[in-house]
A and B are shown apart, each in its own frame.
Chain A
């Protein structure tokens, strides 16, 4: 392979290389330093005059005397069965002291788009044991559901609890976990690793670690390596894979850094205009394919800068993912775990995975009614702060109390408390029963008669009589 020593300019993570033979777009590039060490990069722009290379590691040590080798192929990830249980760097090299991975295949890390016609609609209910998720924002196999959090909030604990408890009812098969850390601290990483080891999850996991002090540009490839691995496990080996990506905010910062180095016209808040498309090329790598056994379920975690959900990172993510779980500082301050605020949270695939066929016939209606009642009670809190409780009508007072009860009993649960979906829904009914029956306008009469605590067990009661007025 020919080596060029024609680096003309180095700017941030970018090298500008002159006078090469024709080089392919997006090719993998090896940069050889004076001491023989090799760094990796990728072609971002190629012409017969100049080639722009983005380096995935720090450019420290690279100079005009460094050698540049164009490999003639795009970046590939070696994958194999033995990857389970292994810990790799954010660039895909083993860092657990174990042997090199013996590849069964080498896959392009960009990943091709799944043909929409080949996709199978996700519909299998995943029970996470967390009421705010199962009851109100149901997760299904093959979904991408991010956690929108803020600095210092317990999003990692929530992600771990999900990874521990997630199961598909009636199936013994456990999820394989692909964990990709981007720019998180050593301490956070240890927290994850300790939990994986304690619960034995590590045996079914592949871990990619790019920590806070690792090169920022490497973060651009970390999630792609992780997802390439996940696709192999899911679509080649038929496993059900849970992918945790944390923290996507650090990924986006790296993207911004490269955009700035290329002197691109910046979009909102300095992030590149193509960030939507770039994020989609990560998030869309989730789902199920017709006639193929495995699945990829994605849990990206991101911290919202300044807790601002309209910041481009959560905003563009929300436009791509199939809902979001929003972690609230206010609930956290009240000492409620898990502090998931259901109001701005959403699972768009919920309707596919609930109902008589999957969970229970009353699921949708109970959830809708709880939402409406909690939203109303929550609004009234603002009013109470101004006019006091006494100025409220009887009806309003009941909704206000419902909101408190809801947070205290439905939202709050233990870190190891694994509630079944029946328990969650019954709990919902218990809380709704504190409201007068006629206020339950979102639920049809038949379901009320069947599930409302007041009527539970009174099968066959004449409807007219049962609807106590």
Chain B
């Protein structure tokens, strides 16, 4: 693993020749690809993205209004990198890791340019506790100590691009991220902070098969189309179909230990919502405020496009860093389409040959490189960690045949297809159960067997079959009306309706229903199956579908969703169901 650091620094200054929006051209600059440069008198941050003869083409992360040809450009010789260390959690950054909180202090309520601020607070002191001692051997990625960052323990590691050695000295105490906490025998000094270039994946020992589900508390996800820890998923959907709500639900309730949430080219208010809401929500597992495990990246639609392009890399690098500590991390990117559009905009300014719909020809490659950084892995420090990546996709006109959706589907393993027809009738989450899929079902089969119930997988298959059957029957109903169906099929339609309305529909805004654990999911599905069995039996015994459908206990079932301590109520309903449906049997 070769990673550039300040030792191989190139420097030098050039002169601006042309400014065209976020893309500028400099001449006379000694530069390599992806070097970070300072553009103009105000030293705006930029990155080299193309070299053509003596012309160096640079994307600038800030507004370029007023910049003139002839102004200087200075090469820092460093790659675009993030600062990794204590202080990442509870933070909110822009696309190039400038802390937004600090920016408010420095330049007020609006984002101005030319202000830089380090990703990690230089003044703050953290209590460092060593976990190795003088004389121990440490290698790349070895954990040398711990910091209680929030309720999360931050594990301080030897950077993966250092070769390590024998610890000569290591100190406990209160330090800033720049203070030396350990020295190796070859004189290498270690601090709690490391820098890592965002476009380079952090190394692991090996990638493993993801065979544990990332539980989300969302019935249609955990129940029908699960994602594994370390897996990849895409949520495509037209505007207003529920991409952001689903992503936020995952950020809130998924059983990851760390959450990285990237607002990439989306709304400012949505980030504010997360900032306002998360501190008041508690993790159902740890009971701690959700904000304590979260890192936010907000590069909204009206912030510079080049920084939007970078935001996705900034986010995934932070996610990998926590993975390297042995944590399960989940990363949401809302929306990868805006990222792709940023690439398109930059590419068109470079006058590159456009590919499909104006996107650059390397779109597919960039998308797959990004999703490849997900995975469950044996990490350098010896433990296991994972990064799950869930990307929203915003196809123009809701048409999934467009390039970003298609190229994404070629890579990800889980597809949650949002459907405007469902969202318009307020069926939420508006995930289409016929088009969606999860390729992790087989690999997760055993887990569900062992941790939920041996009959869970069968129940799931049954539910999918009923839904499939319903869609076929609906075609007939559209032609002849439901009363013309045979009685047995009328019951099938009713059972399918129950699966949809009771199980699949889940209100993100209801205090109880917003999160549903696996046991409750199982109990609910079992209850529907029970009704189904009783109903078919009663119908065979001569009861009329209308009578069966009218039993009060069946109509009580949806209420279970809104009850926190649901077990007694459910037991009562099931008892009642037995009596009521069986009464129909004997009654006719």
Contacts and interface: CB of A to CB of B under 8 A. Distances in A.
**Interaction A to B:** yes
Given A22-B69, A116-B298, A391-B481, A264 B109 contact: no
Given A45-B19, A371-B426, A121 B269 contact: yes
Given A276-B301, A386-B479, A323 B240 contact: yes
A120 B272 contact: yes
Interface string A251-292: 000000000000011111000011011001100110101101
A393 B484 CA distance: 10
A113 interface: yes
A25 B18 CA distance: 9
Contacts of A111: 110
A428 B22 CA distance: 51
Interface in B424-453: 424-427
B399 interface: yes
A388 B20 CA distance: 63
Contacts of A469: 552
B551 to A, nearest CB: 10
Interface string A39-79: 00000111110000000000000000000000001100000
Given A310-B398, A351-B509, A387-B480, A115 B18 contact: no
A273 B344 contact: yes
Given A114-B109, A323-B240, A387 B481 contact: yes
Interface string B320-354: 00000000000000000010010011001000001
Contacts of A121: 269, 272-273, 276
Interface string A274-318: 101100110011010110100000000000000000111001101
Contact of B104 (A47, A73, A118, A122): A118
Interface string A361-392: 00010001001100110000011001100011
Contacts of B19: 24-25, 45-47
Contacts of A425: none
Contact of A115 (B111, B396, B420, B425): B111
A347 B559 CA distance: 26
Interface in B547-567: 550, 552, 555, 558-559, 562
B101 A117 contact: yes
Contacts of B286: none
A442 B425 CA distance: 13
B388 interface: no
A22 B68 contact: yes
Q: Which of B425, B484, B546, B550 has the most CB of A within 10 A?
A: B425
B483 interface: yes
A390 B303 CA distance: 58
A115 B302 contact: no
A112 interface: yes
A322 B109 contact: no
B357 interface: yes
B104 A277 contact: no
A82 interface: no
B109 A118 contact: yes
A256 to B, nearest CB: 14
A264 B348 contact: yes
Contacts of B527: none
Interface string B1-30: 000000000000000011111000100000
A445 B559 contact: yes
Contacts of A351: 509
Interface residues of B, number: 81
B482 A112 contact: no
Given A23-B68, A115-B100, A444-B562, A276 B341 contact: yes
Contacts of B344: 273
B303 A265 contact: no
B455 interface: no
Interface in B371-428: 394, 396-399, 420, 423-427
B499 interface: no
A422 B396 CA distance: 39
Main secondary structure of the interface of A (DSSP, over half): mixed
Contacts of B507: 368
B110 A24 contact: no
Contacts of A289: 109
Contact of B558 (A142, A393, A441): A441
Contact of A343 (B68, B108, B424): B424
A202 interface: no
Contact of A267 (B358, B427, B478, B483): B358
B426 A368 contact: yes
Nearest to B480: A387
A360 to B, nearest CB: 15
Contacts of B276: 121
B239 interface: yes
Interface in A398-442: 438, 441-442
A1 to B, nearest CB: 15
Interface in B21-53: 21, 25
Nearest to B20: A45
A48 B302 contact: no
Q: Which of B19, B271, B338, B477 has the most CB of A within 10 A?
A: B19
Interface in A81-124: 110-122
21 contacts: A22-B70, A22-B71, A46-B68, A48-B18, A112-B111, A114-B268, A115-B100, A116-B92, A116-B263, A266-B358, A267-B358, A273-B344, A284-B267, A284-B302, A312-B396, A315-B396, A343-B424, A344-B424, A386-B479, A387-B481, A444-B562
Given A25-B21, A47-B25, A121-B269, 12 more contacts: A25-B19, A26-B64, A114-B109, A117-B104, A119-B268, A120-B272, A266-B358, A277-B345, A280-B301, A311-B397, A312-B396, A444-B559
Q: Which 8 A/B pairs are nearest by Cβ-Cβ distance?
A: A391-B481, A310-B397, A280-B301, A375-B425, A47-B18, A112-B110, A26-B65, A318-B239
Interface of A: 22-27, 44-48, 73-74, 110-122, 142, 235, 264-268, 273-274, 276-277, 280-281, 284-285, 287, 289-290, 292, 310-312, 315-316, 318-320, 322-324, 343-344, 346, 348-349, 351-352, 364, 368, 371-372, 375-376, 382-383, 386-387, 391-394, 396, 438, 441-442, 444-445, 469
